[in-house]
Chain A
């Protein structure tokens, strides 16, 4: 495993975060929550809505978070257990645009794109669950998130992790999730959704976010704490200071959730983007993103919680060398550090734009990274000394059963990347990886149809959606 921080460095960053939480404190913008915090020993300044966490409160409550839990699919075969030692991947959540498959142009996404995206994720082996990938721009912004969740339930059988705009929106999603999973208890046992919970950096939890932390905890919906400070703007520019800010926010969020609902499933999710000082834009493909993500894997594990890193990021506007280099490096760093959830497949342009070809390529890159994680298996069978002796000098291993037996487990076999000689490649149309990936995505959309929801379930979801639109609509 990659250890980008020494043990001493982890401890210093952790102690610095405890100092920030105890001295500077965090804004918690909900009165009854501040009262709950005060009851367990948090120092509260009601006028400033500020909570200062003594280190013993942090230590006591962070350890109430479960080290492992299930994120369920609609189909049980897609259930995953989130815990240290395993690594699962998902698409990112939050694209407003797509690269149009026919024109290649970037345009605002529609409900059709949301549904197509869900079906593509459903078909890809190395992408184990869905992020709320593509937000439908043709739905009203007041309930776009709920609509997205419904479309994903209809078009994929995998678990869905997404953002909700407000507590009420999350409640409608949970209502839908209960229908699909078969009730409150079943949803608690096999939660089909998990929710992204992001503080407002630096060091603030808005009321709408605390509502969601509270609601998720009530229903056993896993909460993914995504501290997202922008290095140089909403955190110090130094990586260590950036990490202290991020670690403080994630610790505060996790502790907050455990005070409100002890044992609530939570994930430590660093999003350490940086400000590009030539443009003032946030960079999600910066190499520092990967470095800090790897460091955060160590920080999260130090606190005993699973870690979700934002990998596969890029600021490129197209599927080019920049996209390939940024996403691969930013994936492999946290993956090697032992990240448990690898998020981010399927986007370009700093999380704005989804690309169906890109997610096919990401599925391939993830396959390679899983191969990296399996490293080298060393035992009698794989050392193959007896085989080497039998084949002897000048012999060939090609015809041996041993080769056939281990081929698929030992070597990654690419589905997209080309290894033909030039003649064959030219005969097949001289297609680059992007073109092959695009054709593969088109093929999935033609052929792959996840199992439909039952008529009753579909009817119930439709009527919840009608109520949600009415209740949430804002002019």
Chain B
């Protein structure tokens, strides 16, 4: 088995130590960092597909994603050094609404989006509207998602959309909402670009909004 195949297998096995060790070996064999990264992306998409079809559990996906991140940390400096850019299909920023600290759902969605090839900025929990706006201005994601589990926090979703309108950014980014406290009706009422009720439907929604086909 060549080393790229071994990296692929280690990601499927959720074995972070093996990924790091094998990526290091691949670098030693003078393989292109971007070639290594491509293979890792194939691995994580395989797990993402399996999850989508019900063959893998979310724990497998997260385990594989964690293992892949360990490998990415090894090659990232080399890619930056080489001046080449990592091509992502689209950029997404995700946050838990201001006033809410629940992040399991948001984190699952981030893992799924990354597995689907999106570049995701995780803004964390209890994120003030202004910080989301700054991120949009600075990083220019195509999609921004705000999640809320607490009913008291959904107002922050409305605030963000209003603020984007005031600043003239409303057309620059697709704003989507989700979380246990959110309904499709609410999402329409506040003028968001979309609502999704779980991880897989969020990936689909982001694909639709960005025009990124599956395995683009």
Contacts and interface: CB of A to CB of B under 8 A. Distances in A.
B58 interface: yes
B59 A398 contact: yes
Contact of A404 (B59, B107, B198): B59
B104 A396 contact: yes
Interface string B32-68: 0000000000000000000000000111101100100
A399 B66 contact: yes
B21 interface: no
Nearest to B197: A421
A399 B58 CA distance: 9
Contact of A421 (B58, B59, B60, B198): B198
Contacts of A403: 59
A315 B27 CA distance: 68
A424 B60 contact: no
B198 A398 contact: no
A399 B63 contact: yes
B197 A407 contact: no
B78 to A, nearest CB: 25
A396 B60 CA distance: 14
Contacts of B103: 396
A446 interface: no
A401 B63 contact: yes
A113 B127 CA distance: 61
B200 A424 contact: yes
Interface in A399-435: 399, 401, 403-404, 407, 420-424
Contact of B58 (A394, A398, A422, A424): A398
Contact of B197 (A394, A399, A423): A423
A413 B107 CA distance: 22
B108 interface: yes
Interface in B78-120: 101, 103-104, 107-108
A396 B104 CA distance: 7
Interface string A364-404: 00000000000000000000000000000010101101011
B196 interface: yes
Contact of A424 (B57, B101, B198): B198
A423 B63 CA distance: 26
**In terms of DSSP, what is the predominant structure of the interface of chain B?**
helix
Nearest to B101: A394
Interface string B180-216: 0000000000000000111011000000000000000
Contacts of B161: none
Interface string A224-259: 000000000000000000000000000000000000
A387 to B, nearest CB: 14
B4 interface: no
B197 A422 contact: yes
Given A396-B104, A398-B104, A398-B108, A420 B198 contact: yes
B201 A404 contact: no
B23 interface: no
Nearest to A396: B104
Contacts of B104: 396, 398
- Most B-side CB within 10 Å, residue of A394, A396, A399, A404: A399
Nearest to B67: A399
B14 interface: yes
B62 A398 contact: yes
A424 B59 contact: no
B14 A401 contact: yes
A401 B15 CA distance: 10
B66 to A, nearest CB: 5
Contacts of B107: 396, 398
A407 B57 contact: yes
Nearest to B15: A401
Contacts of B58: 398
B14 A404 contact: yes
A399 B200 contact: no
Contacts of A407: 57, 59
B71 to A, nearest CB: 15
Contacts of A422: 197
A396 B200 CA distance: 20
B67 to A, nearest CB: 10
A425 B36 CA distance: 37
Nearest to A403: B59
Nearest to A394: B101
B123 to A, nearest CB: 16
B214 to A, nearest CB: 14
A407 B59 CA distance: 9
12 contacts: A396-B103, A396-B104, A398-B62, A398-B104, A398-B108, A399-B59, A399-B63, A404-B59, A404-B60, A422-B197, A423-B196, A423-B198
Which 9 interchain pairs have the tightest Cβ spacing?
Answer: A421-B197, A421-B198, A404-B59, A423-B201, A399-B62, A398-B62, A399-B66, A403-B59, A404-B63
Interface of B: 14, 57-60, 62-63, 66, 101, 103-104, 107-108, 196-198, 200-201
